[in-house]
Amino acid sequence: MDYGMVFVKILLVCLVGEFVIAEGLAVNWGTRASHPLPPDIVVKLMKDNGIDKVKLFEVVPEAMEALGNSGIQVMVGIPNELLAPLASSVRVAEDWVSQNVSSYISRYGVDVRYVAIGNEPFLKTYKDMFSGTIYPALENIQAALIKAGLGRQVKVTIPINADVYQTESGLPSGGDFRPDIHDLMMSIIKFLNDNGAPLTINIYPFLSLYADPHFPVDYAFFEGSAAPVVDGSITYTNVFEANYDTLIWALEKNGFPNIPVIVGEVGWPTDGDVNANKEYARRFNQGLLNRIIQNRGTPKRPSPAPDIYLFGLIDEDAKSIQPGNFERHWGIFYYDGSIKYPLNLGNNRNLTYAKGVKYLSRQWCVMRPDADLSDPNLPQSIDKACSYADCTSLGYGSSCGGLDVRGNASYAFNMFYQTANQQKGSCDQFFNLSVITNIDPSPSGSSCKYEIMIDTGRHEVARKPTTSSGSNTSSSILTMMLLLLPGLILKNFS
């Protein structure tokens, strides 16, 4: 024991009261943005906010290099589409580890701790697409890490969604794995356990509320104000603990009571749905941070408290909206690293915004004041803008959902203009319906904001936001709904 460090902590308690500050904060860093923050600014943002663990969904070279010698522990992800080649050959896995793990450790000093193999591969929507490749990919990556001399330093894991387990009784104590994947889950968990590796689970109380309008709202949060769910001697007042403990019961029933479990994703979005707002997000994430600060486990597994990776760090305007329009708004920071809402990180330490961010010129593209709302070119103009750029903030219950038709058109035109880097001629794409202005069109006193994008220093056309396979149809439906009535409430246009 380091008695000097113990004395220092005791002295701090005496001087400043209870010694509480978030240690070991962990986040997910998603990079699907049309105008991403420079990685060095993101790493500085994490360090300024006491974040020392990060999960990447894929290896992004610029992000990995920026994380070198940063003191931040890294979990690198392998996308599901790579599972088949990795499962096919140990040599392929060795090449992947060499290029994406070993080289960054040796050349840049990146502190890689985990390789996350796949992401929620057992989602029912995948229809067993990855069931035949996930386990051999796991074996091959583990073998490759051992061959590279990284078997002790870097552990494998598989992030799974909470739908891999269920409970017939509706209580955590009834937890077990889905019958259709039970045997495969047992093989995976035994392999992880034998190799001293953790299981990773993603838990989303927001999705419980999103999927079921009758879900008790308070049960999604942590204040203990929800009607309790009694399970034997344990009382649950939030769905996070009940969900996590359902997994712990399932593991215990199947002979793995002590395998480490990481919470790989948990958070709350701020836009794109009536329940995705800053008030709820602050309420949820502050409650979550309080648990992390207090090092709290759950009733079934009070200790050790799990590592919890908050989802996510920054909004991603190029992410798929197939699950819902909220998918682009999970960040605790906006796209530019500015703060959405206050969070106490412990000992009254608050969030710090990103420094050194550069923006495009202070100008916007809006609908011309003299343009006719009945112009037959207006529908296809909005359709074009929202097919290319992110219009999810115009949805029902979203931050810009209360705009009139002219406001909707202006918002869509501006998002197109900004996503196209304000390139010359990009505001002239809408049949003379649009004009550039230097006056901020954001409504006064509203949470709706007409953005100006980050100046990435590149002047090529930005990456088109990813939508579902029916994006053109969705965009056309959106356009029609935008034009029906001034102030129209849009609902479920994703």
CA 333, CA 274: separation in Å to the nearest integer?
A: 19
- At CB < 8 A and 24+ separation, what contacts does 461-465 make? 461/420, 461/421, 461/423, 462/34, 462/35, 462/419, 462/420, 462/421, 463/34, 463/318, 464/34, 464/318, 464/388, 465/34, 465/317, 465/318, 465/319, 465/328, 465/388, 465/389, 465/390, 465/419
Q: Does an H or E element contain 122, and which? A: none
Q: Is 120 a catalytic residue?
A: yes
Going across the sheet that includes 73-78, the strands are 155-157, 111-117, 73-78, 51-56, 25-29, 308-310, 261-266, 199-202, 159-161
| Helix 90-97 and helix 134-147, axial crossing angle in degrees, nearest 10 | 60
CA-nearest of 445, 399, 390, 467 to 35 is 390
CA distance 159 to 150: 20
Of 120, 139, 327, 451, the catalytic one is 120
Helix/strand/coil (H, E, C) string of 54-93? Answer: EEECCCCHHHHHHCCCCCCEEEEEECHHHHHHHHHCHHHH
Please indicate whether residue 265 is annotated as part of the active site. yes
Catalytic one among 94, 139, 241, 265?
Answer: 265
d(CA 317, CA 248): 35
Question: What residues are labeled active site?
Answer: 120, 265
